Structure 1
């Protein structure tokens, strides 16, 4: 089925990558390993540091970040439904600001109402995304594009394997509700690039 064929289902509510390893025949860890050579010096690159909080002023997101790993089928897991207003950073990939694509996932909604990424599709190129890290640095990203893909047409290498610079991927579900275990028809993917950092305590001035 090739690299773009992937089954994306999560209890009928969220679609982000369940079944990825089995459907495509490659290991997610291989994609997130990145190149052996050092990154170019054309842009800022931060040292690894676990993300703690996600802020997206344009869509009123201010959410804690928990770490997610792989689901039983080898795909990216998602935050538990009882923490649907938190975002999930995939701990098997780069941290936000590190060289490569940091992946943060979140629910769009649950049966009880909107979730952390309910308005993700409203983001526009040029808007800012901030990630507070454990080292107290806030990595600042700028949105490059907001794209929607059918569940079987996600461009896997572009989303997970792009090591051209430090970048961020925000992923949630979207499109038409198909019902049952099928969930939504599409994935919403935000592509963003690191543009700098904010000083410690800048928001408290």
Structure 2
């Protein structure tokens, strides 16, 4: 919405209700994303340490958001990740569907939301592991502020993001607005999410979500 557009009271109410419904659906997704099979092993605790943003980390200024374009691939150089991106929707319970376990090397993008590089927070999710091996976001918790994430788009541009925050949110205290909403209005932001914490064999799920936040700082080709 541009600065000169002012929605009516009913329009603001509708927008608020829509946002509340989306946040509830995304909260369900954050909970359900941690559901895994009983025989999947937990990662080493060192891979899951949340670091936030150290006070001495100098980060570049935000770049102007790009226009809409579809994401094709995501690269995280520090992790050696170079993965295709597939659009995903909501399941019958209103939660975003991650990629099928048979495509655990791919990253899912919430296609009804923001496109990576455009203003707002684009949401991407990947599996931590499968029954037999690590998956695309197995080392996501080791990403640090200042490192880069690159999203190749179908307009020929590469949206270059800089990580500014890495957090673990416990399932019992999951904050959907903090996890999925924009941190600063007007910026192009990116969220990368997988499961983390400890594996609880009683419930058959991990106890938390790893959430990496990044923002657009440049454009490549």
Report the TM-score range of the alignment, normalised by the length of the smaller protein.
0.7 to 0.9
Tell me the residue number matched to 2:35: 12
Q: 2:141 is paired with a residue of what secondary structure?
A: helix
Tell me the residue number matched to 1:157: 177
Number of residue pairs matched by the alignment: 170
Can you give the 5+ residue segments of structure 2 that lack an aligned partner in the other structure? Answer: 1-22, 38-61
Structure 2 residue 151 is the aligned partner of structure 1 residue 124: no
TM-score (norm 1): 0.77
CA distance in 2, matches of 1:194, 1:79: 25
Structure 2 residue 118 is the aligned partner of structure 1 residue 98: yes
Structure 2 residue 199 is the aligned partner of structure 1 residue 196: no
Structure with greater Cα Rg? 2
CA distance in 2, matches of 1:106, 1:144: 19
Q: 2:78 is paired with a residue of what secondary structure?
A: helix
* CA distance 1:57–1:43, shift in 2 (3 Å): closer
How far residue 161 of structure 1 moved from its aligned partner, in angstroms, is 2.2
Can you give the 5+ residue segments of structure 1 that lack an aligned partner in the other structure? Answer: 15-41, 201-205
Q: Deviations over 1:62-92 (max 9, x none)?
A: 0000001101111111101100110001001
Tell me the residue number matched to 1:32: none
CA distance in 2, matches of 1:186, 1:149: 5
TM-score (norm 2): 0.72
Tell me the residue number matched to 1:47: 67
> Which one has the bigger helix percentage?
2
CA distance in 2, matches of 1:101, 1:11: 21
Tell me, yes or no, if the aligned pair for 2:127 and 2:135 is still in contact at 8 Å.
yes
Structure 1: which 4+ aligned runs deviate by more than 3 Å?
3-7
Tell me, yes or no, if the aligned pair for 1:101 and 1:159 is still in contact at 8 Å.
no
Tell me, yes or no, if the aligned pair for 1:12 and 1:179 is still in contact at 8 Å.
no
How far residue 180 of structure 1 moved from its aligned partner, in angstroms, is 6.0
RMSD: 2.1
